[in-house]
DNA sequence: CGGTGCGTTGACATTTCTCAACTGTTGTGG
DNA sequence: CCACAACAGTTGAGAAATGTCAACGCACCG
């Protein structure tokens, strides 16, 4: 399968340069980061690492997607985060505790990752203050994202959480025809929004019946963003 | 009121040196950080900053507490985070977006803060790679905390969220007499756990009736941590 | 084909919220 | 010192939202 060949050095370099952490760095420096990386290719469902494992380094997603999750003792999985192309994860494990705090598994086939090897990257980091600058900025960005997630989960009604989430998806089009696409299977979305798949399904139907939404499967069109905003902010869903 | 005098330079220095960001730095460097700070004293309810305001810098809590929250259009406040002594907040605003993303207000009287002034601190930061090291580490710590919060909020039952929270409070004693103290008023705790004060009250009573908990007001004794753990992990609260 | 996993739907049980009333405490001003 | 307002906390009753369990359709894949 020639189409699944591992990414060449050029590809790695380009991916790293686009990463918020390293944006704006001179090429030579990015090359030195690239020298710390190893590619890894996975199929959907394959584990990247297990919670508790010693940290080898952090990862950059080149293609596909990775989900980070916890496993409750009964086996129910709670998705903490979903990481798409051009994003990285597990920096905190590297810089802080030395162990991965959650499970990570590929959520698409194929998923191409870059492992930024911990030991050599840390050595590089210590000698290059400019690396720090970008890392701090992008970790802060991550923090803000998580704060957003906390807010989302704090919304008490499931309808509000869903509306909030839909509005934050990257959208195409404008006005009353915002086309969005769900990132993964609906059961994952349900877990992410802390509700059951059944509830998600019913809510989507209700939104559709009221003309707020249109479409089937993962491709949706938001017909009435204002109404969705109102729902996200806690307004009661009108009885009609 | 002599007891409320603003913190002297020595106090500031000590507080900064204890901050995870700057732990392990040589004294001279911490002094240069201290030179960027200004003290601020507030009473409960007073605002530190409003969401959307331009960022002056980040803050360190010396005494008292600060709550970070959003305001829904209807005025309902959602506590994103509560920051106690020895902790800092709003770094992300400084390093990333230049505006405060949430509201911040004092939650105790008196609350003593240190404003680490943005412009001068950033200048210092750029010139001192060793600062970066610690900042990255402690921001990662913050990230992990937030991931923990996401997990907590992801727990579907209110009882599980409460049990989870109780178990994570700093505790004194051991075995079956873990003494903990709630950080603030119960209505704030309720908001933090995304439930109503009524539900919180009823849950506490139920826990107490079942012998899992003891005490009144904000001082509680956890009598059966194992049972609480089971509840936090989703086990049904036994009918008896 | 037959299986496996996702998504949907329905009926039902349970949790949690809402609304309202009541208690106890604190702080204020008379 | 007391009466009073303001607020946190508690309690109860009923309504609404959500989870649970179970069945079914549908696509995909061997």
The confidence score (pLDDT) of residue B121 equals: 93
> In angstroms, what separates the C-alpha of B6 from chain A's closest C-alpha?
30
The reply to whether the CB atom of residue B120 sits less than 7 A from any atom in nucleic acid chain C is no
Percent of chain B with pLDDT over 70: 91
Contact B70 A151 (CB under 8 A): yes
> In angstroms, what separates the C-alpha of B236 from chain A's closest C-alpha?
12
Query: What does the pLDDT average to over A51-69?
Result: 92
> In angstroms, what separates the C-alpha of A22 from chain B's closest C-alpha?
14
Nearest to B94 by CA among B67, B122, B69, B114: B122
Tally of CB atoms within 10 A around A211 = 10
> Is B233 an interface residue toward A (CB < 8 Å)?
yes
The confidence score (pLDDT) of residue B207 equals: 95
Contact A92 B133 (CB under 8 A): no
A79 and A188 in contact (C-beta within 8 Å)?
yes
Query: What does the pLDDT average to over B64-78?
Result: 74
The confidence score (pLDDT) of residue A146 equals: 87
Nearest to A9 by CA among A87, A123, A114: A114
Which nucleotide is the nearest neighbour of B157, by CA and C1'?
Answer: C15
Query: What does the pLDDT average to over A180-186?
Result: 91
The reply to whether the CB atom of residue B236 sits less than 7 A from any atom in nucleic acid chain C is yes
> In angstroms, what separates the C-alpha of B62 from chain A's closest C-alpha?
23
Query: What does the pLDDT average to over A187-192?
Result: 91
Distance of CA A38 to the CA centre of its chain: 21
A33 and A122 in contact (C-beta within 8 Å)?
no
Which nucleotides of chain C are near protein (any atom < 7 Å from a CB)?
Answer: 6-11, 15-20
The confidence score (pLDDT) of residue B237 equals: 53
The reply to whether the CB atom of residue A237 sits less than 7 A from any atom in nucleic acid chain D is yes
The reply to whether the CB atom of residue B155 sits less than 7 A from any atom in nucleic acid chain C is no
Query: What does the pLDDT average to over A143-162?
Result: 89
Closest in B126, B139, B147 to A140, CB measured? B139
The reply to whether the CB atom of residue A195 sits less than 7 A from any atom in nucleic acid chain D is yes
Residue A1 pLDDT > 90: no
Contact A135 B140 (CB under 8 A): no
Cα separation, B19 vs B134, whole angstroms: 10
Residue A4 pLDDT > 50: no
B208 CA vs D9 C1’ separation (Å): 16
Nearest to A165 by CA among A187, A141, A140, A183: A183
The reply to whether the CB atom of residue B187 sits less than 7 A from any atom in nucleic acid chain D is yes
Contact A140 B234 (CB under 8 A): no
The reply to whether the CB atom of residue B205 sits less than 7 A from any atom in nucleic acid chain D is yes
Query: What does the pLDDT average to over B181-205?
Result: 93
B198 CA vs D10 C1’ separation (Å): 8
> Is A144 an interface residue toward B (CB < 8 Å)?
yes
> Which residues of chain A does B147 touch, with a Cβ-Cβ cutoff of 8 Å?
80-81, 92, 101-102, 146
Query: What does the pLDDT average to over A81-91?
Result: 89
Q: Determine if the pTM surpasses 0.85.
A: no
Contact B154 A78 (CB under 8 A): yes
> Which residues of chain B does A135 touch, with a Cβ-Cβ cutoff of 8 Å?
132, 136
B134 and B21 in contact (C-beta within 8 Å)?
yes
Query: What does the pLDDT average to over B209-235?
Result: 89
Q: What is the phi/psi pair of residue A43, to 5°?
A: -105, 160
> Is A174 an interface residue toward B (CB < 8 Å)?
no
Query: What does the pLDDT average to over B148-168?
Result: 92
Percent of chain A with pLDDT over 90: 45
Residue B164 pLDDT > 60: yes
B25 pLDDT band, cuts 50/70/90, is confident
Which nucleotides of chain D are near protein (any atom < 7 Å from a CB)?
Answer: 8-13, 17-22
Mean pLDDT score of chain B: 86
Which nucleotide is the nearest neighbour of A188, by CA and C1'?
Answer: C6
Distance of CA A159 to the CA centre of its chain: 22
Task: Annotate B119-173 with three-state secondary structure.
Answer: HHHHHHHHHCHHHHHHHHHHHHHHHHHHHHHHHHHHCCCHHHHHHHHHHHCCCEC
Least confident of A227-236, B3-12, B76-85, B221-230: B3-12
Tally of CB atoms within 10 A around B33 = 24
B57-63 and B47-49: which strand pairing?
unpaired
> In angstroms, what separates the C-alpha of A210 from chain B's closest C-alpha?
23
> Is A134 an interface residue toward B (CB < 8 Å)?
no
Residue A3 pLDDT > 60: no
Query: Which residues fall within 8 angstroms of residue A53, CB to CB, at 6 or more apart?
Result: A99, A100
The confidence score (pLDDT) of residue A2 equals: 40
B83-119 per-position pLDDT tens digit: 888 999 999 899 888 999 889 988 887 889 999 999 9
Residue B126 pLDDT > 70: yes
């Amino acid at each position: 399968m020639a189409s699944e060949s591992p990414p060449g050095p050029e590809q790695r370099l380009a991916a790293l340069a686009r990463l918020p952490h390293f944006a704006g760095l001179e090429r030579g420096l990015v090359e030195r980061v690239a020298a710390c990386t190893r590619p890894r290719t996975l199929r959907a469902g394959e584990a990247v690492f297990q919670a508790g494992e010693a940290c080898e380094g952090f990862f950059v997603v080149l293609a596909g997607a990775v989900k980070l999750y916890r496993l409750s003792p009964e086996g129910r999985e709670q998705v903490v985060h979903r990481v798409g192309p051009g994003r990285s994860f597990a920096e905190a494990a590297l810089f802080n505790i030395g162990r991965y705090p959650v499970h990570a598994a590929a959520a698409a086939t194929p998923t191409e990752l870059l492992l930024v090897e911990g030991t050599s990257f840390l050595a590089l980091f210590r000698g290059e203050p400019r690396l720090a600058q970008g890392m701090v900025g992008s970790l802060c960005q991550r923090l803000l994202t998580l704060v957003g997630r906390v807010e989302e989960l704090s919304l008490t009604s499931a309808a509000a959480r869903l509306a909030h989430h839909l509005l934050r998806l990257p959208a195409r089009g404008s006005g009353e025809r915002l086309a969005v696409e769900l990132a993964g299977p609906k059961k994952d979305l349900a877990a992410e929004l802390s509700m059951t798949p059944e509830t998600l399904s019913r809510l989507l139907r209700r939104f559709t019946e009221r003309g707020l939404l249109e479409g089937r499967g993962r491709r949706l069109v938001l017909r009435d963003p204002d109404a969705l905003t109102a729902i996200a902010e806690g307004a009661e869903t009108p009885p009609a």
